[in-house]
Chain A
Amino acid sequence: MIVETTRFGSISVVEEDILTFSEGMLGFSKIDSYVLVERMDESLFLWLQAVKKPSVAFPLLEPQILDRGYKVELEDEDRKSLKLGNDLSGAKVFCIITIPTDPTKMTANLKAPIVINLKKRIAKQVILHSQDYPIRKAIFSDLQQHCATHQRTIFPTTETTAYQAIHLSDEMKMILKEV
Protein backbone atom coordinates (compact mmCIF):
# COMPACT_ATOMS: atom_id res chain seq x y z
CA MET A 1 0.00 0.00 0.00
CA ILE A 2 1.02 3.63 -0.39
CA VAL A 3 1.19 5.88 2.67
CA GLU A 4 0.88 9.59 1.98
CA THR A 5 2.99 11.87 4.15
CA THR A 6 3.51 15.62 4.29
CA ARG A 7 7.22 15.29 5.05
CA PHE A 8 8.39 12.35 2.97
CA GLY A 9 6.01 12.23 0.03
CA SER A 10 4.37 8.90 -0.87
CA ILE A 11 5.93 5.85 0.70
CA SER A 12 5.37 2.28 -0.28
CA VAL A 13 4.60 0.14 2.77
CA VAL A 14 4.09 -3.58 3.13
CA GLU A 15 1.17 -4.48 5.36
CA GLU A 16 3.35 -6.52 7.72
CA ASP A 17 5.48 -3.48 8.56
CA ILE A 18 2.58 -1.57 10.06
CA LEU A 19 2.72 -1.18 13.82
CA THR A 20 -0.43 -1.17 15.92
CA PHE A 21 -0.60 1.14 18.92
CA SER A 22 -3.86 -0.08 20.42
CA GLU A 23 -3.88 2.77 22.94
CA GLY A 24 -2.41 5.33 20.58
CA MET A 25 0.26 7.78 21.67
CA LEU A 26 -0.49 10.09 24.60
CA GLY A 27 -2.48 12.97 23.16
CA PHE A 28 -3.06 11.00 19.93
CA SER A 29 -5.31 8.24 21.19
CA LYS A 30 -7.30 7.97 17.96
CA ILE A 31 -4.32 7.14 15.76
CA ASP A 32 -3.37 3.50 16.07
CA SER A 33 -1.39 2.61 12.93
CA TYR A 34 2.13 3.78 12.31
CA VAL A 35 5.07 2.82 10.16
CA LEU A 36 8.78 3.41 10.76
CA VAL A 37 10.40 5.50 8.07
CA GLU A 38 14.08 6.16 7.44
CA ARG A 39 16.00 8.34 5.06
CA MET A 40 18.23 6.45 2.71
CA ASP A 41 21.48 8.08 3.76
CA GLU A 42 23.61 8.27 6.89
CA SER A 43 21.42 10.76 8.72
CA LEU A 44 20.43 9.78 12.20
CA PHE A 45 16.69 10.11 12.68
CA LEU A 46 13.96 7.60 12.14
CA TRP A 47 10.36 8.71 11.96
CA LEU A 48 7.22 7.14 13.29
CA GLN A 49 4.71 8.09 10.62
CA ALA A 50 0.96 7.80 11.15
CA VAL A 51 -0.44 5.65 8.34
CA LYS A 52 -3.68 7.57 7.89
CA LYS A 53 -2.61 11.05 9.03
CA PRO A 54 -0.05 12.43 6.58
CA SER A 55 0.98 15.31 8.86
CA VAL A 56 1.61 13.29 12.02
CA ALA A 57 5.14 11.92 12.36
CA PHE A 58 7.44 11.67 15.35
CA PRO A 59 11.23 11.78 15.01
CA LEU A 60 12.85 8.89 16.87
CA LEU A 61 16.31 7.98 18.08
CA GLU A 62 17.71 4.92 19.76
CA PRO A 63 18.13 5.90 23.42
CA GLN A 64 21.61 4.37 23.68
CA ILE A 65 22.85 7.18 21.45
CA LEU A 66 21.72 9.68 24.09
CA ASP A 67 22.39 7.79 27.30
CA ARG A 68 24.58 4.68 27.31
CA GLY A 69 23.14 3.42 30.56
CA TYR A 70 19.52 3.88 29.50
CA LYS A 71 17.41 0.97 30.61
CA VAL A 72 13.70 0.40 30.36
CA GLU A 73 11.97 -1.33 33.26
CA LEU A 74 8.50 -2.17 32.05
CA GLU A 75 5.59 -2.35 34.44
CA ASP A 76 3.71 -5.64 34.38
CA GLU A 77 0.71 -4.09 32.68
CA ASP A 78 2.82 -2.66 29.85
CA ARG A 79 4.64 -5.95 29.44
CA LYS A 80 1.32 -7.72 29.18
CA SER A 81 -0.20 -5.38 26.63
CA LEU A 82 3.00 -5.61 24.57
CA LYS A 83 3.00 -9.41 24.93
CA LEU A 84 6.65 -9.34 25.98
CA GLY A 85 8.58 -11.64 28.31
CA ASN A 86 10.77 -10.54 31.19
CA ASP A 87 13.94 -10.05 29.20
CA LEU A 88 12.43 -7.74 26.55
CA SER A 89 13.90 -9.93 23.81
CA GLY A 90 12.38 -9.12 20.45
CA ALA A 91 11.63 -5.60 21.63
CA LYS A 92 13.00 -2.37 20.30
CA VAL A 93 12.98 0.89 22.24
CA PHE A 94 12.99 4.40 20.78
CA CYS A 95 12.86 7.85 22.30
CA ILE A 96 10.68 10.55 20.78
CA ILE A 97 12.56 13.65 19.72
CA THR A 98 11.15 17.13 19.41
CA ILE A 99 12.82 19.19 16.69
CA PRO A 100 11.72 22.82 16.96
CA THR A 101 12.29 25.50 14.34
CA ASP A 102 15.73 26.04 15.84
CA PRO A 103 17.04 22.48 15.64
CA THR A 104 19.88 23.17 18.07
CA LYS A 105 17.17 23.26 20.73
CA MET A 106 16.01 19.73 20.03
CA THR A 107 15.07 17.56 23.02
CA ALA A 108 14.51 13.88 23.74
CA ASN A 109 11.80 12.37 25.89
CA LEU A 110 13.49 9.68 27.99
CA LYS A 111 10.58 9.39 30.40
CA ALA A 112 8.04 8.01 27.95
CA PRO A 113 9.75 5.92 25.24
CA ILE A 114 8.14 3.80 22.58
CA VAL A 115 8.50 0.06 22.97
CA ILE A 116 7.89 -2.14 19.94
CA ASN A 117 7.29 -5.86 19.94
CA LEU A 118 8.89 -6.52 16.55
CA LYS A 119 7.50 -9.99 16.12
CA LYS A 120 3.90 -9.15 16.90
CA ARG A 121 4.02 -5.68 15.35
CA ILE A 122 2.50 -4.08 18.40
CA ALA A 123 3.82 -0.99 20.13
CA LYS A 124 3.11 1.31 23.01
CA GLN A 125 4.32 4.54 24.51
CA VAL A 126 5.15 3.59 28.08
CA ILE A 127 5.78 5.84 31.08
CA LEU A 128 8.78 4.86 33.20
CA HIS A 129 7.24 5.75 36.55
CA SER A 130 9.88 4.20 38.73
CA GLN A 131 12.76 5.70 36.77
CA ASP A 132 13.87 9.28 37.02
CA TYR A 133 14.32 10.28 33.37
CA PRO A 134 13.59 13.73 31.88
CA ILE A 135 10.75 14.44 29.44
CA ARG A 136 12.84 17.18 27.79
CA LYS A 137 16.53 16.44 27.61
CA ALA A 138 18.57 18.81 25.45
CA ILE A 139 20.54 16.59 23.11
CA PHE A 140 22.04 18.65 20.31
CA SER A 141 25.65 18.81 21.52
CA ASP A 142 25.64 15.12 22.48
CA LEU A 143 24.35 14.26 19.04
CA GLN A 144 27.04 16.32 17.36
CA GLN A 145 29.66 14.36 19.25
CA HIS A 146 28.03 11.05 18.47
CA CYS A 147 27.87 11.88 14.79
CA ALA A 148 31.51 12.98 14.72
CA THR A 149 32.70 9.66 16.13
CA HIS A 150 30.32 7.42 14.18
CA GLN A 151 30.43 9.13 10.79
CA ARG A 152 26.76 9.90 10.81
CA THR A 153 25.03 13.23 10.30
CA ILE A 154 22.31 14.91 12.31
CA PHE A 155 20.95 16.53 9.19
CA PRO A 156 20.87 15.14 5.69
CA THR A 157 23.82 16.21 3.62
CA THR A 158 22.28 15.74 0.22
CA GLU A 159 19.20 17.27 -1.28
CA THR A 160 17.82 14.07 -2.68
CA THR A 161 14.90 13.09 -0.54
CA ALA A 162 14.51 9.37 -0.60
CA TYR A 163 12.68 7.73 2.26
CA GLN A 164 11.68 4.15 2.82
CA ALA A 165 9.61 2.17 5.28
CA ILE A 166 11.68 0.03 7.63
CA HIS A 167 11.11 -3.72 7.38
CA LEU A 168 10.46 -5.05 10.83
CA SER A 169 11.70 -8.50 9.90
CA ASP A 170 15.11 -6.97 9.07
CA GLU A 171 15.16 -5.17 12.42
CA MET A 172 14.34 -8.49 14.07
CA LYS A 173 17.31 -10.15 12.38
CA MET A 174 19.62 -7.33 13.48
CA ILE A 175 18.53 -7.73 17.09
CA LEU A 176 19.07 -11.48 16.99
CA LYS A 177 22.56 -10.89 15.63
CA GLU A 178 23.36 -8.52 18.47
CA VAL A 179 22.37 -11.11 21.09
Chain B
Amino acid sequence: MLVLTRKLGEAIAIDDDIKIVVVQIKGGQVRLGIEAPHHTKIHREEIYISIQEQNKLAAESQNPTPVKNVAKSVRPS
Protein backbone atom coordinates (compact mmCIF):
# COMPACT_ATOMS: atom_id res chain seq x y z
CA MET B 1 0.00 0.00 0.00
CA LEU B 2 1.24 3.44 -0.91
CA VAL B 3 1.24 5.73 2.14
CA LEU B 4 1.38 9.50 1.69
CA THR B 5 1.43 12.26 4.29
CA ARG B 6 -0.87 15.21 3.58
CA LYS B 7 -1.68 18.41 5.45
CA LEU B 8 -5.08 20.02 5.82
CA GLY B 9 -6.21 21.36 2.45
CA GLU B 10 -3.74 19.28 0.50
CA ALA B 11 -4.84 16.70 -2.02
CA ILE B 12 -3.98 13.48 -3.77
CA ALA B 13 -4.51 13.03 -7.49
CA ILE B 14 -5.34 9.61 -8.90
CA ASP B 15 -5.17 9.35 -12.68
CA ASP B 16 -6.24 12.50 -14.46
CA ASP B 17 -9.71 12.69 -13.06
CA ILE B 18 -9.81 11.71 -9.39
CA LYS B 19 -8.89 14.10 -6.60
CA ILE B 20 -9.05 13.49 -2.86
CA VAL B 21 -8.72 16.49 -0.54
CA VAL B 22 -8.20 16.55 3.21
CA VAL B 23 -11.04 18.85 4.24
CA GLN B 24 -10.89 18.64 8.02
CA ILE B 25 -8.84 16.96 10.72
CA LYS B 26 -10.50 16.81 14.11
CA GLY B 27 -9.88 14.47 17.00
CA GLY B 28 -9.42 11.00 15.56
CA GLN B 29 -11.36 11.81 12.41
CA VAL B 30 -10.40 12.97 8.97
CA ARG B 31 -12.92 14.44 6.54
CA LEU B 32 -12.13 13.79 2.92
CA GLY B 33 -13.55 15.47 -0.14
CA ILE B 34 -13.59 13.39 -3.30
CA GLU B 35 -13.91 14.56 -6.87
CA ALA B 36 -14.33 11.77 -9.38
CA PRO B 37 -16.12 10.96 -12.64
CA HIS B 38 -19.74 9.93 -12.36
CA HIS B 39 -19.17 6.25 -12.97
CA THR B 40 -16.62 5.89 -10.16
CA LYS B 41 -18.08 3.92 -7.30
CA ILE B 42 -17.26 5.48 -3.95
CA HIS B 43 -18.56 3.94 -0.77
CA ARG B 44 -17.73 3.86 2.90
CA GLU B 45 -15.97 0.54 3.01
CA GLU B 46 -18.02 -0.86 5.89
CA ILE B 47 -21.30 -0.66 3.94
CA TYR B 48 -19.77 -2.67 1.13
CA ILE B 49 -18.32 -5.25 3.50
CA SER B 50 -21.52 -5.49 5.47
CA ILE B 51 -23.55 -6.19 2.31
CA GLN B 52 -21.00 -8.73 1.07
CA GLU B 53 -21.15 -10.57 4.38
CA GLN B 54 -24.94 -10.50 4.37
CA ASN B 55 -24.99 -11.87 0.82
CA LYS B 56 -22.75 -14.74 1.87
CA LEU B 57 -25.08 -15.59 4.74
CA ALA B 58 -28.11 -15.29 2.46
CA ALA B 59 -26.55 -17.67 -0.08
CA GLU B 60 -26.24 -20.28 2.67
CA SER B 61 -29.93 -20.01 3.53
CA GLN B 62 -31.62 -23.29 4.18
CA ASN B 63 -34.56 -24.10 2.02
CA PRO B 64 -37.47 -24.13 4.46
CA THR B 65 -39.11 -27.44 3.78
CA PRO B 66 -41.04 -29.71 6.07
CA VAL B 67 -38.70 -32.52 5.07
CA LYS B 68 -35.40 -32.58 6.94
CA ASN B 69 -33.41 -34.06 4.12
CA VAL B 70 -30.95 -31.28 3.47
CA ALA B 71 -27.57 -32.12 4.90
CA LYS B 72 -26.46 -28.92 6.55
CA SER B 73 -23.26 -27.52 5.23
CA VAL B 74 -20.92 -26.71 8.10
CA ARG B 75 -18.12 -25.58 5.88
CA PRO B 76 -17.05 -22.10 7.03
CA SER B 77 -16.96 -19.55 4.27
Contact = CB atoms under 8 A, between A and B. Distances in A.
A59 B53 CA distance: 15
Interface in A80-118: 96-101, 103, 107, 109, 111-112
Contacts of A112: 51, 54-55
Contacts of A2: none
B29 interface: no
Interface residues of B, number: 26
Contact of B58 (A7, A8, A58): A58
B68 to A, nearest CB: 11
Interface string A68-82: 000000001100000
Contact of B51 (A57, A101, A111, A161): A111
A103 B66 CA distance: 12
Contacts of B48: 26, 127
B57 A100 contact: yes
A130 interface: no
Interface residues of A, number: 39
A27 B54 CA distance: 9
Contacts of B66: 155-159
A98 B38 contact: no
A156 B62 CA distance: 13
A55 interface: yes
B31 interface: no
Contact of B62 (A43, A99, A107): A99
B63 A8 contact: yes
A27 B56 contact: yes
A127 B51 contact: yes
Contacts of B65: 155-156, 159, 161
Interface of A: 7-8, 25-28, 43, 45, 47, 55-59, 76-77, 96-101, 103, 107, 109, 111-112, 125, 127, 129, 135-136, 154-159, 161
